[in-house]
Structure 1
Amino acid sequence: MLNRVLKPLATVTGSLTAALLIAAAQAAPLKQEDLSVAEVLRDRALESSDAYSLVESLTVEVGPRRAGTKGDERAVAWAQQKMQDLGFDRVYTEQIDVKRWARGHAHAEVTAPFPQPLVVSSLGYGASTPEGGLNAEIVEFADVEALMKAPARKVKGKIAFINKRMERARTGEGYGPAVQGRSKGMRAAAEKGAAALLLRSVGTDSDRFAHTGMMSIDGVANPVPALALSAPDANLLEAMLERGKPVEVKLDVHNEPLADGPSFNVIGELVGREKPEEVVLIGAHLDSWDEGTGALDDGAGVAIVMETARLISELPQRPRRTLRVVLFGAEEIGLVGARQYVDAHQDDLDNIIMVSESDFGAGKVWRFDTRIPESKFTIADQMMQLLAPLGIERGNNKSSGGPDSSVFVARGVPAMGLYQDGTDYFDYHHTPNDTLDKVDPDNLKQNVAAWVVMSFLAAEMEGDFGRVPAEH
């Protein structure tokens, strides 16, 4: 029946070449009929603007949605309503517990030898200065490792300035080395007796915006104020220090720690027609930082996975197994929603046959990675028949599936990853400039086209991917 319904559509939208049909038939894991349906879904996605409408709705009607805030509450309600409107079979939430924090003001200025203002942003869950602020000399470090190795006498009473530049890359691979300063810097500064921490923003832009983000705060007995500094202002401090005179900076910061409170993972399902207990889990994170509207991080991902499910829901029948969309809460403050989800469902993880997440903006997907047993590579090869026309190449078998998905992979769940071009992603990441105008509607369509191919075929195929070695 399904083939009869889709056959006219396949004629209109294009069909697999004879060579690909023959290859698909010979390879066996994915049936020719399923590949044909996936092709139709792909082409429908390329014609639909519904994903862009979703991210537009999220950024306009909700906006910033840092975990545990009123914006987060609005986002949870928004997501539930949208999933219901889109025709999910089941829509529900699972509560998670989050640390809460209120951002106040953050001001910085050079007081000597060349007085002028600086553009800064408090890092997540950062401490306040004493009332009236503090004024101290800065001491520069090339990276957080240099700060950690420095004698305490060099740092005590001063403002530690980590001046690590992030390298631009299509893969975003420069983020890992640079973000160590943000995650570990305040802890190291506090242990050395520093008055505060200034960090060159973890980003690749030259705009006068600071990039906020989370720090490691657990167990720090004496937290100190920690601020991200815009790239031009980091350059300014660097140039001042090169003149050989002590540079003094005044900081005036007020933030407020709050009592822990609730947030939620929002979950929508298309229930499988034959194997409802088996699950293909695709996700994004619903929360964002509060400086921009979270369009790229991760409004685009939310829209991509929701639209993927909507397209599949319009087929004449449900896929063989359940497609579960999870919009994780509190990702930005430490993958909280994903960690609590895995802990709560650890007895059911063997039923998740594949996990994947969209959390790298809205650039075009250019690479398809996996983390599946080598014996299952034929399935990925068949998927590539439909992904390649979208400009996507086959990558490696080391995928984590995305930040939240990595928590599942660590427990042995197979993963797939559709990786976007992140060349300019870290120009906007965690800044006031993460806004809707940075989302290209055509790129978003291409993303959904790739996601719907991967998700439908994983949910419809007869076999599964087995397990991958759990990480310890």
Structure 2
Amino acid sequence: MKLLPFVAGAMLITSVVQAQTADPVVSGIVKEATENSQLRKLAHELLDVIGPRLVGSPQIKQAHEWAVDKYAGWGISAKNEQWGTWRGWERGVSHIDMVYPRVKSLEGMQLAWSPGTKGKDITAETIILPLVTDSIAFQKWLPNAKGKIVMISMNQPTGRPEYNWTEFATKESFDKIKAEKAEETKAWAERIKNTGFNAKSLALALEKAGAAAIMASNWSNGFGVNKIFGANTTKIPTVDIALEDYGLLFRLTEGGSKPKVRIKAESKELGAVPTFNTIASIKGSEKPNEYVILSAHFDSWDGGTGATDNGTGTIVMMEAMRILKSVYPNPKRTILVGHWSSEEQGLNGSRAFVEDHPEVVNNLQALFNQDNGTGRIVNISGQGFAKSETYLTRWINRIPEKYRAEIKTSFPGSPGAGGSDFASFVAAGAPGFSLSSLGWSYGNYTWHTNRDTFDKIVFDDVQSNAIVAAIMAYAASEDPERSSTEKSILPNNTRTGQPGVWPTPVKPNRKGGQ
């Protein structure tokens, strides 16, 4: 009798393995993904040829059209669905040189939506944002900014990332540099605060005072990487300079050498332009009005080419749809893919879809979103849905051991309130799940940086993710049961002590940057 539980467990494991082995769709997905992968071709066309996909830019429009053509070539119905408009802007050439006290070409670029230099170069002396006692003192200083390039970021005490210090430094040296950095970071925050402005209003105040340009350096705490976001100025250019060159200019300025910098920044304002989501579908054969969604945001910042944020998620979902059309062309439920735009400005594309398509949201079996780099999927949370363990575990068990061995689950989990597009659906009470990946130094080296490029993709991991996404979509589509949307009782907020509250839907910004 003592052997019965063991025997039963062994039989269950054997039945799962046999089901995976015997399922021709699962084996077909793996075969198509491994023997006929289109991932490198998709990545090259999207990232190298089209490039970064800043919302409102010609490149994202080109990418939307490219995606529809790709789906059409695979026999998949697809369309671009307009949900709003955005400030149109096109990046041109950025070239930045120190021309005094010696000549040096600087590593840097204008920020997104930066005003250009109107066909002329700007040559001006650099000046450091001053240390003042209060906003009144800053107002008295402001005339000094006229005609100058104002440096608004701190000078980093080291250009070496922390892991480099951990490996080689003495404890005394490491402790010293950490304390120095903490002190200087705090002091610079106080310097900004004492002006009486925040980051946006400070740039506008300097612009109004007649500054020639704004210069910043948003270091990403790794060798050679800076975060590249958007400009706050409306008339003068804002440029980001690599840590090494910014530090050089800072020291020269602080030391009284009065360096001069020449800036050429070309850009075009395009007015309000339409912004879209690309939606593709494989219609369900038995329950066409119930839906499984594969999800990834299409837009990116444009410091690099948006390779791991979120080119990898995009090509994973495109490849999964291609594979499903090939080996599972008649799904039980309709399988959609959503390529959302303006995720980077606040999940606007997916929030618009949730608002515009209640018929999909209310009949959603599951949404699977991938948006955190190039690594293998290793974590899936139940997002606070009380019975998510039952159906997610059932679907995950359809994945061959090779591809699911590292996946950890947490149930029921907590509902995501932001971070990526699955949260737009969770807020509406629909079962949206994040397929979370291994880091591969994502936070420092590729997330929103100038180094987020094709060469950072780990294609073996991305291929694994396409297999996982395709099988999860297949399993969710075939499941005879509807997934439960019952919400769990959330624990008390650890900060306030109040009962946890489910996130509520947020309205999208449908007229961005205007």
**Contact in 2 for aligned 1:137/1:246 (Cα 8 Å):** no
> Per-residue deviation at 1:87?
2.8
> Per-residue deviation at 1:294?
3.9
Cα displacement string for residues 50-89 of structure 1 (whole angstroms, at most 9, x for unaligned residues): 233322333455344444444333322221121122232x
Q: Give, as a single letter, the amino acid of the residue that structure 1 aligns with 2:152.
A: A
Q: Give, as a single letter, the amino acid of the residue that structure 1 aligns with 2:475.
A: L
Looking at structure 2, the residues matched to 262 and 147 of structure 1 have their Cα atoms a distance apart, in angstroms, of 46
Q: How does 1:133-144 map to 2 (within 5 A)?
A: 133=122, 134-139=124-129
Aligned partner of 1:370 among 382, 386, 389? 382
1:228 counterpart = 2:240: yes
Q: 1:50 to 1:148 in 2, by over 3 A?
A: farther
Q: 1:431 to 1:375 in 2, by over 3 A?
A: closer
Q: Give, as a single letter, the amino acid of the residue that structure 2 aligns with 1:393.
A: I
Aligned partner of 2:483 among 455, 464, 468? 464
Looking at structure 2, the residues matched to 34 and 312 of structure 1 have their Cα atoms a distance apart, in angstroms, of 18
Partner residue in 1 for 2:439: 422
Looking at structure 1, the residues matched to 71 and 437 of structure 2 have their Cα atoms a distance apart, in angstroms, of 25
Q: 1:168 to 1:350 in 2, by over 3 A?
A: farther
Partner residue in 2 for 1:13: none
> Per-residue deviation at 1:100?
0.6
Cα displacement string for residues 411-446 of structure 1 (whole angstroms, at most 9, x for unaligned residues): 332221122223333424555644433323312211
- Which 10-residue stretch deviates more, 109-118 or 430-439? 109-118
Point out the structure with max Rg over C-alpha: 2
Equivalent pairs counted in the alignment come to 429
Partner residue in 2 for 1:393: 407
> Per-residue deviation at 1:304?
0.6
Cα displacement string for residues 246-266 of structure 1 (whole angstroms, at most 9, x for unaligned residues): 876646345343211123321
1:43 counterpart = 2:30: yes
Partner residue in 1 for 2:81: 94
Q: How does 1:164-183 map to 2 (within 5 A)?
A: none
Cα displacement string for residues 173-205 of structure 1 (whole angstroms, at most 9, x for unaligned residues): xxxx9xx99xx7344433577745433335344
Q: How does 1:234-249 map to 2 (within 5 A)?
A: 234-237=246-249
Partner residue in 2 for 1:439: 457
Looking at structure 2, the residues matched to 150 and 36 of structure 1 have their Cα atoms a distance apart, in angstroms, of 73
> Per-residue deviation at 1:376?
2.1
C-alpha RMSD of the superposition: 4.2
Looking at structure 2, the residues matched to 353 and 147 of structure 1 have their Cα atoms a distance apart, in angstroms, of 58
Aligned partner of 1:308 among 295, 305, 320? 320
Gapped regions of structure 1 (runs ≥ 5) = 1-15, 26-31, 170-176
> Per-residue deviation at 1:115?
7.1
1:341 counterpart = 2:353: yes
Partner residue in 1 for 2:366: 354
Q: How does 1:69-218 map to 2 (within 5 A)?
A: 69-88=57-76, 90-96=77-83, 97-109=85-97, 116-128=104-116, 133=122, 134-139=124-129, 152-153=138-139, 156=142, 157=145, 158-162=150-154, 185-191=199-205, 195=211, 196-201=213-218, 203-207=220-224, 211-214=227-230
Looking at structure 2, the residues matched to 471 and 35 of structure 1 have their Cα atoms a distance apart, in angstroms, of 43
| TM-score, normalised relative to structure 1 | 0.74
Q: Give, as a single letter, the amino acid of the residue that structure 2 aligns with 1:159.
A: M
1:359 alignment partner, SS class: coil
Partner residue in 1 for 2:282: 270
Q: Give, as a single letter, the amino acid of the residue that structure 2 aligns with 1:137.
A: I
Partner residue in 1 for 2:340: 328
Q: 1:321 to 1:117 in 2, by over 3 A?
A: same
Looking at structure 1, the residues matched to 151 and 310 of structure 2 have their Cα atoms a distance apart, in angstroms, of 33
Looking at structure 1, the residues matched to 221 and 334 of structure 2 have their Cα atoms a distance apart, in angstroms, of 39
Aligned partner of 1:450 among 468, 479, 487? 468
Q: 1:444 to 1:23 in 2, by over 3 A?
A: closer
> Per-residue deviation at 1:447?
1.3
State the percentage of identical aligned residues: 24
Partner residue in 2 for 1:172: none
Q: 1:112 to 1:437 in 2, by over 3 A?
A: closer
> Per-residue deviation at 1:137?
1.0
- Which 10-residue stretch deviates more, 196-205 or 97-106? 196-205
Looking at structure 2, the residues matched to 274 and 361 of structure 1 have their Cα atoms a distance apart, in angstroms, of 35
Partner residue in 2 for 1:12: none
Looking at structure 1, the residues matched to 48 and 236 of structure 2 have their Cα atoms a distance apart, in angstroms, of 35
Runs of 4 or more above 6 Å deviation: 111-115, 146-151, 164-169
Looking at structure 2, the residues matched to 36 and 167 of structure 1 have their Cα atoms a distance apart, in angstroms, of 48
Cα displacement string for residues 310-363 of structure 1 (whole angstroms, at most 9, x for unaligned residues): 222234563322110112234445544323323322464222333332233322
Q: Give, as a single letter, the amino acid of the residue that structure 2 aligns with 1:414.
A: P
Looking at structure 2, the residues matched to 271 and 398 of structure 1 have their Cα atoms a distance apart, in angstroms, of 32
Partner residue in 2 for 1:409: 426
